[in-house]
């Protein structure tokens, strides 16, 4: 939906946005992103963590942003204390969570009809044993349905799944972190019908 968007063929599966510590951002501005450190992760990075918004050279702009804003803070954990570990571990967590097959197993797939948000939440909670945070684009003018946009899983510092609960002092900017055009993702409403589009127009 972004005017400068050159996303010709958006992936038809859930991709990675990032791995974010809860309360900190941009912890080390001198620790610059170096794509050569993750060169052996590239096939997986391009597939599971694509930059669908920027046509930057080699499409590394998104990863650079995630590393500088979040990775430099995540690196206080030994298991994430290099670019290779940060991106590699995120790919590993993505495979472990396997959201794509979980939703399919629960019968939740892209469709032109609407879902109840509570049904999506219940399916995810039943499958994972924890409550994720589901974010939506609010209805556009004249529409009644919200559009599912992002599903966030929360982890302990030991990288075990935990419930996503709003933490005291968690800033609103950490909640969204992603603007789609002029719209911003926000926590989905339980009462609005929910659209899970099969084709992004």
pLDDT at 192 exceeding the cut of 80? yes
- Looking at the 3D structure of the chain, how many domains does it have? 2
**Looking at the structure, do residues 121 and 80 belong to the same domain, yes or no?**
no
Residue 201 lies in a domain: no
**Looking at the structure, do residues 124 and 85 belong to the same domain, yes or no?**
no
Residue 103 lies in a domain: no
pLDDT at 138 exceeding the cut of 70? yes
- Split at pLDDT 50, 70, 90, the class of 185 is confident
Please tell me the chain's helix, strand, coil percentages from 3-state DSSP, rounded to the nearest 5: 35, 15, 50
**Looking at the structure, do residues 5 and 30 belong to the same domain, yes or no?**
yes
Backbone phi and psi for residue 118, each to the nearest 5 degrees, phi listed first = -65, -35
**Looking at the structure, do residues 90 and 8 belong to the same domain, yes or no?**
yes
Task: For the chain, list the strands marked E by DSSP.
Answer: 115-116, 133-137, 146-152, 154-155, 161-162, 179-180, 183-184, 186-187, 193-195
70 is catalytic: yes
**Looking at the structure, do residues 126 and 177 belong to the same domain, yes or no?**
yes
Residue 7 lies in a domain: yes
Catalytic residue among 32, 37, 54, 66: 66
d(CA 92, CA 11): 19
- % of the chain residues with pLDDT over 70: 83
Domain containing 57: what range?
1-97
CB of 103 within 8 A of CB of 109?
yes
Residue 56 lies in a domain: yes
Rounded to two decimals, what is the model's pTM?
0.87
Last residue of a domain, one of 32, 67, 97: 97
Residue 102 lies in a domain: no
pLDDT at 173 exceeding the cut of 50? no
Degrees (nearest 5) of the Cα angle 64, 19, 117? Answer: 125
Last residue of a domain, one of 66, 97, 128: 97
66 is catalytic: yes
CA distances from 91 to 41, 84, 141, 179 (A): 9, 11, 37, 23
Catalytic residue among 25, 26, 47, 70: 70
pLDDT tens across 52-105, in order? 777 666 789 899 999 999 999 999 999 999 999 999 999 999 999 999 999 999
Identify the CA nearest to 108 among candidates 122, 120, 117, 92: 120
Catalytic residue among 17, 26, 54, 68: 17
**CATH number of the domain that 30 lies in?**
3.90.730.10
Last residue of a domain, one of 39, 73, 97: 97
pLDDT at 124 exceeding the cut of 80? yes
d(CA 24, CA 20): 8
**Looking at the structure, do residues 122 and 85 belong to the same domain, yes or no?**
no
**Looking at the structure, do residues 1 and 76 belong to the same domain, yes or no?**
yes
Residue 9 lies in a domain: yes
- % of the chain residues with pLDDT over 90: 72
| pLDDT for residue 171 | 47
Residue 160 lies in a domain: yes
**Looking at the structure, do residues 90 and 125 belong to the same domain, yes or no?**
no
């Amino acid at each position: 939906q972004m005017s400068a968007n050159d996303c010709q063929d958006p992936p038809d599966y859930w991709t990675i946005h990032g791995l974010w510590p809860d309360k900190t951002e941009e912890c080390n501005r001198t620790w610059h992103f170096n794509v050569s450190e993750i060169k052996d992760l590239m096939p997986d990075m391009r597939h599971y963590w694509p930059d669908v918004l920027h046509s930057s050279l080699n499409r590394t702009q998104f990863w650079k942003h995630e590393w500088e804003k979040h990775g430099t803070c995540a690196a206080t954990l030994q298991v994430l204390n290099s670019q290779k570990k940060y991106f590699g571990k995120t790919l590993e967590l993505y495979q472990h969570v396997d959201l794509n097959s979980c939703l399919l197993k629960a019968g939740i797939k892209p469709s032109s009809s609407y879902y109840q948000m509570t049904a999506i939440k219940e399916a995810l909670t039943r499958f994972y044993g924890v409550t994720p945070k589901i974010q939506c684009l609010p209805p556009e003018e004249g529409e009644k349905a919200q559009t599912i946009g992002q599903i966030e899983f929360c982890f302990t510092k030991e990288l075990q799944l935990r419930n996503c609960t709003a933490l005291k002092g968690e800033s609103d900017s950490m909640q969204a972190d992603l603007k789609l055009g002029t719209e911003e993702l926000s926590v989905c409403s339980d009462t609005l019908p929910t659209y899970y589009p099969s084709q992004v127009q």
